[in-house]
Structure 1
Amino acid sequence: METALNGDSVEPITVHDFSEKILEQLVHFHVMKLSGGFFLWIGSEPVLSSLALAVSSKHDSMPLSALVLGDPSDTTPSSLAQRLTKKTKKQVFVSYNLPVTNSNLALLVENRIKKEMELHPDKF
């Protein structure tokens, strides 16, 4: 544990990578655990075409989310960030960089993330 300038303890950023073949496509996952949250990049090629953020709200049971980068008609990054925030109670950034060609792909990707969270909760 490190100490910030104001005396508060700061967790170091940790990185966790894993991959899985889903529907005949190799999908890579990159997790950066941050203090109070995490950044999750999902893709098959090294691009950053979307970025969404979700945070818990004390006024609503559903976390608030915003798309920071990407196609506003694609709700996958924002809704995934919301569900992960609801599950973890943490601030979550999601960059989802897979084509929206198969609706099952997003569900299978989310299930793989949840499996990894169960196997390695300390990485998220």
Structure 2
Amino acid sequence: FSTHQFRRLFNGNAVHFLVLRMDCSFLLWIGLQSGNMKNLAVAMSTAYERAPTASCLMGDASDLTSSSLASKLSKRTGCQVFVSYNLSGTDAATVNFVHDSLIEEMSLNPEKFH
């Protein structure tokens, strides 16, 4: 296991990212400094579909933010990805900010994600 932490400012608030890298998979926690885990989703590639299969493991299954993000990251990295998205904002601006921040960090530190 190895960990990697970074943060970005969005609308004056610090958004924290924590990556726990494992063999062929990683867990990504996104939230404020409080450190709670309200939900957890997983996504992974299969031999049956082009898009990774995603599932909600914990929390509100009707909120697809974690599942969608896990699916995108799994497709990008080829890894099994667990995501816990713990921000109150699930609007397009917040989710796009999170996605763009992750893509930027993955390009700066690819070894931290796979």
TM over 0.5: yes
Task: Measure how far apart 1:25 and its partner are.
Answer: 1.9
Identity over aligned pairs, percent = 39
1:66 lines up with 2:55 in the alignment? yes
Distance 2:91 2:40 in 1: 20
Query: Following superposition, which runs of at least 4 residues in structure 1 exceed 2 angstroms of deviation?
Result: 100-103
**Which consecutive residues of structure 2, in runs of 5 or more, have no partner in the other structure?**
none
| Local SS of the residue matching 1:26 | strand
| Local SS of the residue matching 2:57 | strand
Q: Which amino acid aligns with 1:27?
A: V
Q: What residue in structure 1 maps to residue 40 of structure 2?
A: 51
Distance 1:58 1:29 in 2: 30
Residue pair 1:65, 1:82 contacting (<8 A) in 2 also: yes
Q: What residue in structure 1 maps to residue 84 of structure 2?
A: 95
TM-score for both structures, normalised by structure 2: 0.94
Q: CA RMSD in A?
A: 1.0
| Local SS of the residue matching 2:89 | coil
Higher relative contact order (CA 8 A, sep 6+): 2
Distance 1:115 1:49 in 2: 25
Residue pair 2:74, 2:81 contacting (<8 A) in 1 also: yes
Residue pair 2:18, 2:30 contacting (<8 A) in 1 also: yes
Q: Which amino acid aligns with 1:31?
A: V
Q: How many residues align?
A: 112
The aligned runs of 1:1-124 (5 Å cut-off) are 13-44=1-32, 45-100=34-89, 102-124=91-113
Task: Measure how far apart 1:101 and its partner are.
Answer: 5.3
Structure showing greater radius of gyration is 1
TM-score for both structures, normalised by structure 1: 0.87
Distance 1:24 1:77 in 2: 23
Query: Which has a greater percent of strand?
Result: 1
